[in-house]
Amino acid sequence: MIPGAVNGEQYRGFDTVPPQRVHDAALRDESKFLLDLYRESEEKSEQRYQDAMNLADAMAAMVLFAVTNAAIGYLGSTGQTMMSGFISWSDMYGQMLILLTLLVLVPLIARIWLSLPEDRIYHPELAKADRNS
In a domain, 5, yes or no: no
Asked whether residue 97 is assigned to any structural domain, the reply reads yes
23 inside domain: yes
**Which tens digit of pLDDT belongs to each residue from 39-61?**
999 999 889 889 999 999 999 99
User: Does residue 4 belong to any structural domain of this protein?
Assistant: no
The tally of domains found in the chain comes to: 1
Q: What band does 8 get if pLDDT is binned at 50, 70 and 90?
A: very low
Percent of the residues in the chain that have a pLDDT greater than 70, as a whole number: 88
Section 124-130 average pLDDT: 84
Please report whether residue 127 resides in a domain: yes
For the whole prediction, is pTM greater than 0.85? no
Q: Give the residue numbers spanning the domain of 45.
A: 14-132
Instruction: For 89-115, write each residue's pLDDT tens digit.
Output: 887 888 888 889 889 999 999 998 888
Ordered DSSP codes for the chain: --TT---GGG---TTEE-HHHHHHHHHHHT-HHHHHHHHHHHHHHHHHHHHHHHHHHHHHHHHHHHHHHHHHHHTT-SS--HHHHHHHHHHHHHHHHHHHHHHHHHHHHHHHHH------EE-HHHHHHHHH-
In a domain? residue 7: no
Q: Please provide the average confidence, as pLDDT, over all residues in the chain.
A: 82
Q: Is the pLDDT of residue 6 over 50?
A: no
